[in-house]
């Protein structure tokens, strides 16, 4: 594991801020303390990250992350990447969890208050029009994650394409009656995954049966939860229609809840119904889920790198990175072979 400034601070018995000031050549450090820190760094073979040195000119050493909620597995894994990256730079992170849409404006206003943070990571929501003009002059660097605006740097997953691949996989296995369990349609990724599912169905010459589509009514976590998956499957089982032979579920955690409901009704996966989901969270392998893997941790790391680059190059044109999720075949689709991708992810810069 790479040595970080936290290791240096612990060994030198000083604060993180003191270590950061030494590596950034700040004058407010005594020669004795400076020599001590540099000696520890040399002994541990630590080399200050170029990004950290570049960020010395910034004022707060703090970034903000504005996310829809804290407990969704997707964000937990993305934020691990964010936290690991900023820790190596000696930065702090302020998290703003959005429980209600009206909080977006409030937290954005807090983030842009003079001197509060150096940059903002904005996750999975539409950037309010009222803030576009304020941010686009780069007075406060912003990077969008899992969402898009043409005037800003962004990282996003191809939800539409990923849902198509997942549904086409089930079609390739011979299924013609394919259902879908979706998260709440207030979520942009949920809407994109429904659209991809429908496109795959119609492109295969099959009919979209609306009775086969169950959309979560839960607003908590936008319906990306075990409870939402459980309730949606209970609804599908009781709607009076024959159960589809295969189901695409819009997240792994929903799929885990849905399979619990199936077990309670004596329905076996994959013998009676095949399941493919989305995300490839840590639990997915334990449940044998066939799923669409997206690079959550890597997205977090890259988001920080993009934000840092924007801080140092405010006039650079905005760039977008789009990740194409990869199909990971496990037991729930009815195939026993495992898929081991040679290249984890394909992403393209515009």
Tens digit of each residue's pLDDT (9 = 90 or more) over 296-305: 999 999 999 9
Contact by Cβ (8 Å): 281, 253? yes
Handedness of CA 109, 111, 115, 121 (dihedral sign): negative
Between 52 and 98, the higher pLDDT residue: 98
Residue 320's DSSP bridge partners are 154
Number of separate helices (H) and strands (E) present in the chain: 13, 13
Burial class (CB in 10 A: 0-12, 13-18, 19+), 313: exposed
Contact by Cβ (8 Å): 166, 292? yes
CATH class entry, domain 59-158+296-325? alpha beta
Do 5-48 and 159-294+327-343 agree at the fold level? no
Contact by Cβ (8 Å): 23, 48? yes
H helix runs in the chain, sequence order = 5-12, 16-23, 31-43, 50-54, 73-89, 103-112, 129-136, 159-172, 188-203, 226-237, 252-264, 282-286, 296-312
Residue 141, token pair as written in the block: 């660097």
So what's the pLDDT on residue 6?
A: 74
Percentage with pLDDT > 70 across the chain: 87
CA distance 187 to 21: 42
Supply the mean pLDDT for the chain.
85
Q: Any idea where the domains of the chain sit in the sequence?
A: 5-48, 59-158+296-325, 159-294+327-343
So what's the pLDDT on residue 22?
A: 80
**5-48: CATH homologous superfamily?**
lambda repressor-like DNA-binding domains (1.10.260.40)
- The CATH T-level fold of domain 159-294+327-343 is Rossmann fold (3.40.50)
CA distance 350 to 347: 10
Tens digit of each residue's pLDDT (9 = 90 or more) over 6-30: 788 889 988 877 887 787 666 678 8
Looking at residues 91-98, what average pLDDT do you find?
Answer: 85
Tens digit of each residue's pLDDT (9 = 90 or more) over 141-199: 899 998 888 889 999 999 999 999 999 999 999 999 999 999 999 888 899 999 999 99
Tens digit of each residue's pLDDT (9 = 90 or more) over 133-142: 777 665 688 9
What's the pTM value of the predicted model, to 2 decimals? Answer: 0.75
CA distance 331 to 347: 27
């Amino acid at each position: 594991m790479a040595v970080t400034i936290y290791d240096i601070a612990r060994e030198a018995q000083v604060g993180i801020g003191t270590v950061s000031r030494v590596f950034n050549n700040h004058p407010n450090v005594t020669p004795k303390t400076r020599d001590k820190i540099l000696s520890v760094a040399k002994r541990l073979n630590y080399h200050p990250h170029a990004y950290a040195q570049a960020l010395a000119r910034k004022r707060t050493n703090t970034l903000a992350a504005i996310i829809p909620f804290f407990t969704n597995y997707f964000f937990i894994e993305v934020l691990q990447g964010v936290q690991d990256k900023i820790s190596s730079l000696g930065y702090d992170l302020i998290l703003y969890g959005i429980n209600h849409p009206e909080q977006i404006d409030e937290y954005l206003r807090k983030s842009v208050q003079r001197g509060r943070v150096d940059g903002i990571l904005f996750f999975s929501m539409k950037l309010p029009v009222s803030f576009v003009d304020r941010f686009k002059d780069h007075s406060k660097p912003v990077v969008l994650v899992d969402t898009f605006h043409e005037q800003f740097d962004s990282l996003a997953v191809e939800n539409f394409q990923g849902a198509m691949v997942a549904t086409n996989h089930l079609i390739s296995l011979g299924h013609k009656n394919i259902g879908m369990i979706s998260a709440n349609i207030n979520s942009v990724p949920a809407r994109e995954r429904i659209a991809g599912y429908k496109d795959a169905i119609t492109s295969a010459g099959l009919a979209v049966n609306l009775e086969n589509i169950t959309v979560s009514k839960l607003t908590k976590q936008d319906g990306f939860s075990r409870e939402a998956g459980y309730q949606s499957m209970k609804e599908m089982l009781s709607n009076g229609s024959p159960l589809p032979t295969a189901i695409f579920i819009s997240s792994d955690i929903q799929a885990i809840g849905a399979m619990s409901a199936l077990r309670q009704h004596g329905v076996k996966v994959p013998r009676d119904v095949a399941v493919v989901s989305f995300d490839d969270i840590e639990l997915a392998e334990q449940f044998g889920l066939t799923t669409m893997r997206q690079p959550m941790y890597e997205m977090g790391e890259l988001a920080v790198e993009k934000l840092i680059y924007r801080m140092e190059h405010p006039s650079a044109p905005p760039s977008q990175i789009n990740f194409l999720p990869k199909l990971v075949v496990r037991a729930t689709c009815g195939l026993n072979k495992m898929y081991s991708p040679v290249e984890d992810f394909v992403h393209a810069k515009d």
